Structure 1
Amino acid sequence: MYHLMKRIIVGLFAAFILYSCNLISAAGLSSAGQPTKEVNGDLTSTTANSAENVDHSAWDALLKKHVNAAGMVDYEGFQKDRAKLDAYLKKLSSYNPSDDWSVQELLAYYINLYNAYTVELILNNYPVKSIKDIDGAWTKAIVPVGNRELSLGGIENGVLRKMNEPRIHFAINCASMSCPKLLNEAYTAGKINEQLDKVTKEFVNSDKNDITASNPKVSSIFDWYKSDFITDKTPTVIDYINQYSKTKINKGATLTYKNYDWNLNKQ
């Protein structure tokens, strides 16, 4: 009887673990075994010390052609260039990132992967008013990488957020008006630090936030991902924002968060 009860308990525990893992995967949190490297100290831009240097020039050309300076996207134009986009996506998915890749190369790869497959998702469901109208937009495994399949949520939460670089939140684009803008150039290891700095400064000082010294209203991104912005260097979200904001927020101020506009970022 004791052994039977033990087997039942072990079986129930295993089922619970499996169920929990499935929930995590379904919630778009799973990395699907992808490598994650943490940024240690200040990030530098370099193509050195990496087993792979991915060529993102095809994506760069598409972005320059179909995304304006404000980050608004010409989805009809992208539709006409589907062959070029599909070729780039196929190339990205043929790679099998590993720990032999530098942290710079991994950051550029996963940011471009997220952004390019988000554009693909919109095109596959076009016309659509909002990405939130697409079933499982962030939870379905629609992104093949090597012999694995990831969700957009998995790339964000399971990979990029684990790399100890909160500026990724201003580089990945969820195809919505309140999102950080889609940069009209590809991220590359050789420029990654400067690019992340640029998009972070632009976002913080844009109309996505209404920053004053005593009554700041900021993007919900700073609420949803609060834990990513709090570090030894920046013990509060205000400290993080003040690194980039032209207007400094008072230490004792209370942040309020703006409503998020999920309408499509269409030109």
Structure 2
Amino acid sequence: MTRVSRLISRLTLFGGLAATTLAQTGCGYVGYLIPLNPTSSNGRPLDHAAWDGLLKKYVDDQGMVNYKGVRQDSAALNSYLKTLSDNLPVREASADEKLAYWINAYNAFTVQRIIRSYPVKSIKDLGGDKIFVNTVWDQDFISLGGKRYTLNDIEHRIIRKQFDDNRIHYALVCAAMSCPRLRNEAFVGARVQEQLADQGRDFINNPQKNDLTPANKPTLSAIYSFYPGDFEKNGSTSIQDAVNRYADKKIDPSAKISYKEYNWSLNEQ
């Protein structure tokens, strides 16, 4: 279990698993270490226009969501998710097309999970507290290609395993105030690299997410503490280096970092 425990510390959404949590969950999280690669041989490329329309209609420039409106328009959301389910990424699709598909799927199914239980104060209220066992992210409510998946499956077994790009942490939105802003347009393969860069600039330079001053003692989003290993690859050598990739005000390469408390309140307009 020692090696697995080290690996799971890189997966956790909450900054590492305490010993008491490990005692409660046992080895229930081991499945999340196994990669997944759902694809189709006969699916059709998606333009994600339906999701794009919903985002433009119900998400403002700050990434805040009108969940009441989405709930009233749930038929449109469910129709888009059915299209995703019926059209897994084709095997021959480019990596960018696949990445756009999975980011959109994660965000859209998260919104669906919220409106199914709306009104709600926090997404964390929708599940238990045993990480990788019974939280809302462990519920297999997602139907894709005839199989059931969880949000953790999409993030940890698909996106983080297939795409070596730490900028996905600026794009995946778990319906909380401390998350990156929900982009009010769909991700698309032709522009996903540009969109990820824009998400990175927006997130890093947002003072509500990151305090970059003083440069030698910045206070960063807890997201960086959730996935420290991810920010030491993909062209970055450290968290400081990953931040400076898009920071308007650079932090010291050897800065002593502290982290903000994560606000799990719903990202609602």
The C-alpha deviation readout for 1:170-221, integer Å capped at 9, x for no partner, is 1111000000010000000111111111011100000200012111000011
In structure 2, C-alpha distance between the alignment counterparts of 1:231 and 1:30, rounded to whole Å: 20
Describe the shift of the 1:233–1:90 C-alpha distance in structure 2 as closer, same or farther (beyond 3 A).
Answer: closer
Identity of aligned residues (%): 42
Matched, 1:105 2:97: yes
Unaligned runs of 5+ residues in structure 2 are: 1-25, 128-134
Whether the 8 Å contact between 1:31 and 1:150 is mirrored in structure 2 is: no
1:151-190 matched pairs, under 5 angstroms: 151-162=150-161, 163-190=163-190
Deviations 1:239-263 (CA, angstroms, capped at 9, x unpaired): 1111110111112211101100000
Q: Post-superposition, which runs of at least 4 consecutive aligned residues in structure 1 deviate over 6 A? A: none
Q: CA deviation at 1:57?
A: 0.4
Do the aligned partners of residues 150 and 96 (structure 1) sit closer, same or farther apart at CA in structure 2, a change above 3 Å counting?
A: same
Report the residue type matching 1:62 in the other structure: L
Structure 2: which amino acid aligns with 1:107? L
For residue 48 of structure 2, the aligned residue among 32, 56, 73 is 56
Contact 1:29 1:153 in 2 (8 A): no
RMSD: 1.7
Residue 137 of structure 1: CA displacement? 1.1
Give the superposition deviation at 1:147. Answer: 2.2
| Separation (CA, whole Å) in 1 of partners of 2:204 and 2:37 | 33
How far did residue 59 of structure 1 move? 0.5
Identify the residue that residue 81 of structure 1 maps to in structure 2: 73
Deviations 1:32-74 (A, max 9, x none): 5536xxxxxxxxxxxxxxx852120010000000000000000
Q: Which residue in the other structure is 2:64 paired with?
A: 72
- Match of 2:38? 34
Residues 78 and 190 from structure 1, CA distance in 2 versus in 1: closer, same or farther, beyond 3 angstroms?
same
User: Is the contact made by 1:139 and 1:151 (CA closer than 8 Å) also made in structure 2?
Assistant: yes
Q: Which amino acid aligns with 1:24?
A: V
Partner of 1:242: 244
SS at match of 2:264: coil
Q: Is the 8 A contact 2:240 2:254 kept in 1?
A: no
Residue in 2 that maps onto 1:201: 201
Q: Structure 1 residue 118 and structure 2 residue 110: aligned?
A: yes
For structure 1, which runs of at least 5 residues remain unmatched after alignment? 1-18, 36-50
TM-score, scaled to structure 2: 0.82
Q: Larger Cα Rg: Structure 1 or Structure 2?
A: 1
Distance 1:89 1:52 in 2: 14
What CA distance in whole angstroms lies between the structure 1 residues aligned with 2:109 and 2:48?
14
Amino acid at match of 1:184: N
Map 1:1-16 to 2 at 5 A: none
Number of residue pairs aligned between Structure 1 and Structure 2: 231
Q: Structure 1-normalised TM-score? A: 0.82
State the 1:104 CA deviation: 0.7
Q: Which residue of 2 aligns with 1:210?
A: 211
What displacement does 1:148 show? 1.8
For the residue of structure 2 that corresponds to 1:141, the secondary structure is coil
